[in-house]
Structure 1
Amino acid sequence: MDKITRLVSERGVVIFSKSTCCLCYAVNVLFQELGVSPVVYDIDQDPEGREMEKAIIRMGCNAPVPAVFINGKLIGSTNEVMSLHLSGSLTPMLKPYQNLSTS
């Protein structure tokens, strides 16, 4: 979906989320603790949210939310993010975006 492509190309770290999702919240907190302020798009607040969900799954994400993109590339959902974090691979990916303002 063009909207997703446009949104992820505009910012370094983007999380597609739902406002009521506890896993989305946990992933967002992890990024905050790593010194990164991701742009969070709550797709349940977007009129095109259903289509965005379907597009995220078609892109290869095993769950529609949270869907994490770093530098325009789909990283995945909670399992992929946590695996990268536990293996020590997430922090180097986030290095260019640490302590940078997203506004």
Structure 2
Amino acid sequence: MVACLWCTHVSTRLPSVRMGQLFTKLPEAQREAALHFIRNQVVQNCVVIFSKTYCPYCAKAKGIFEEIGANFKAIELDQRKDGDHIQNTLAELTGARTVPRVFVNGKCIGGASDTHKLHSSGKLLPLVLRCSPPCKWDDSYSLPRSH
């Protein structure tokens, strides 16, 4: 058994990671499909949380949005066949592979700790209230081309 590097989950399968790599690059078609899915979800929803059902940090982030009464779309990556592809693509887009990856009004605000900091400082609710789908996709999110 191996302890997951990104959550407290223990897995019986080895992660598909090569020495010195955080994740394996996906074939172009899978990357594009994952990017298309991510972009559609982020543009169509004010708040999107890419999550895993067993992750306590994901539960914390979802709890913050429940506390402020904000609607959110939770995408449970461990419940999807393409969850690993989506998570790897999120890593390329945002610079972090950990979950949750939280998007508000088209922009990634980070993970659970970042969401908590924004909430504690009183800045999260105004971000949510400014949202009206379709959200503008943050054009700084682009994938490097595979070779």
Q: Shared topology, TM-score over 0.5?
A: yes
Partner of 2:99: 65
CA RMSD of aligned residues (A): 1.4
Q: Distance in 2 between matches of 1:88 and 1:33?
A: 13
After superposition, residues 1-103 of structure 1 pair within 5 angstroms as: 1-96=35-130
Q: Secondary structure of 2:74's match? A: strand
* Structure 1: runs of 5 or more not aligned: 98-103
CA distance in 1, matches of 2:44, 2:50: 14
TM-score (norm 1): 0.85
Deviation at 1:96, TM superposition (A): 4.3
CA displacement at 1:37 relative to structure 2 = 2.1
Structure 1 residue 62 displacement after superposition: 2.8
Aligned length: 97
CA distance in structure 1 between the aligned counterparts of 2:118 and 2:105, rounded to whole angstroms: 15
Larger Rg belongs to: 2
Q: Distance in 1 between matches of 2:57 and 2:79?
A: 17
Identity of aligned residues (%): 32
Runs of 4 or more above 2 Å deviation: 61-64
Is this contact kept in 2: 1:54–1:64, CA < 8 A? no
Q: Using the TM superposition, give the Cα deviation of residue 63 of structure 1 relative to its aligned residue in structure 2, in angstroms.
A: 4.0
